[in-house]
Amino acid sequence: MTRDGEPGADFAEREDSRRVAYEVTGAPDGFPVFLLHGTPGSRRGPKPRGIVLYRMGVRLIAYDRPGYGDSDRREDRDVADAARDVEAIADHLGVEQFAVVGRSGGGPHALACAADARLRGRVTRVAVLVSLAPWNAIELDWVGGMNTGNVRGFGVGSPDTAAVVEEIRQRAERAAADPRLLLADLRTEMSAADRRAVNDPALRRLITDTYAEALRSGPYGWIDDVLAFRRPWAFDLSAIDTAATPVRLWHGADDNFAPVSHGRWLAAQIPGAEMEVRPGAAHFDAVEELPRILRWLVDPDPALGADLLIGARPGQ
Q: What is the model's pTM?
A: 0.92
**Tell me: the pLDDT tens digits for 61-79?**
999 999 999 999 999 999 9
The per-residue pLDDT for 7 is 58
Percent of the chain with pLDDT over 90: 89
Q: By the 8 A CB rule, do 114 and 87 touch?
A: no
- Across 220-241, average pLDDT: 97
In this model, does residue 55 exceed pLDDT 50? Answer: yes
Strand pairing of 123-129 and 98-103?
parallel
Burial of 222 (0-12, 13-18, 19+ CB in 10 A): buried
Rounded Cα–Cα distance for residues 41 and 61 (Å): 15
Rounded Cα–Cα distance for residues 185 and 266 (Å): 28
**Tell me: the pLDDT tens digits for 144-157?**
999 999 999 998 87
In this model, does residue 306 exceed pLDDT 50? Answer: no
Binning the chain into helix, strand and coil, the percentages to the nearest 5 are: 45, 15, 40
Give, in order, the Cα–Cα distances in Å from 131 to each of 97, 103, 248.
Answer: 24, 7, 11
In this model, does residue 301 exceed pLDDT 70? Answer: no
Q: Is 184 left (phi over 0), alpha (psi -120 to 50) or beta?
A: alpha
**Tell me: the pLDDT tens digits for 35-51?**
999 999 999 999 999 99
**Tell me: the pLDDT tens digits for 189-202?**
999 999 999 999 99
Residue 187 CB neighbour total at 10 angstroms: 13
In this model, does residue 1 exceed pLDDT 60? Answer: no
Q: By the 8 A CB rule, do 130 and 250 touch?
A: yes
- Determine which of 16-25, 153-162, 250-259 has the lowest per-residue pLDDT on average: 153-162
In this model, does residue 4 exceed pLDDT 60? Answer: no
